[in-house]
Every structure is written in structure tokens, then in C-alpha cells.
Amino acid sequence: MTTESRQHPRIRIPAPFACSFARIGLQRWSAAERAGLGVVLDVSLNGAKVMSPATMNPGDQLAVSLRLPDQTATMNVDATVRWGNRHTFGLEFTALSQRAETRLRKFLSRVPLSQI
């Protein structure tokens, strides 16, 4: 049996949504630094699970752009890859602005309870 160690439980998204990400470097968000596109499968206030053909390794630092389904503007967060396998990886958000946290809380509050 596995013990859940997350401070905020992940919530499965009824309709997964797209994200883009870039390895953090000197030129954030430049086309040359773009690592790939992915689909967010679940999310919490502290992180997300992403499905992507891009290969990510634990410890990789990413700048992630999320467009939450109920919002029009993208939300940018910094994250660290905590685990990965062939097509999915887990992110821990490491820099989340107050505005981004508010937007994420708003989104999570609207996910149907049956999805938790």
C-alpha cells in the first residue's frame, strides 16, 4: 500500500488541457529553449501530471505555461520534474505567483467533486 505524501491531493481533470514548457535557462520562453507540449492529466495547488512525448528527467527545471479550461489567459509557473516515465512526468510547482495561485484555486474549486 502506498502512503500519499502530497500536501494538496491531485485532482483528475474531466477534460485534460494543453500546456507548453521550456527548460529554464538564460532565455526563458525562446523558441530554441522550447522543450515541448503536453497534456495536463491531473493538477493540484503544488503540481501536475503531464503526458508528453518529450523526455523529462527528475530534477529538470521547467518554465510551464498552462491555459486552464475555464480561463482565457495563460498562467506561467516554474516547476521541477519529480518523476518521469516514457510518456508522463510529475511536476512540483516551485514558483507560483499569488495571482497564479488564485487562478488555480478558482479552477480547482469548479472541478466536480466526482472527479476527486
Domain locations in the chain as residue ranges: 11-108
The answer to whether 21 and 55 have CB atoms below 8 angstroms apart is no
Summarised one tens digit per residue, pLDDT across range 68-81 is 887 888 899 999 99
Summarised one tens digit per residue, pLDDT across range 8-26 is 666 676 677 888 888 886 4
Tell me the three state secondary structure of residue 103: helix
Instruction: Calculate Rg over the CA atoms of the chain.
Output: 14
pTM as predicted: 0.79
Summarised one tens digit per residue, pLDDT across range 28-48 is 544 445 568 999 999 999 999
Helix, strand and coil content of the chain, in percent to the nearest 5, comes to 15, 45, 40
pLDDT over 50 (residue 114): no
The answer to whether 64 and 52 have CB atoms below 8 angstroms apart is no
Q: Which CATH architecture has domain 11-108?
A: Beta Barrel (2.40)
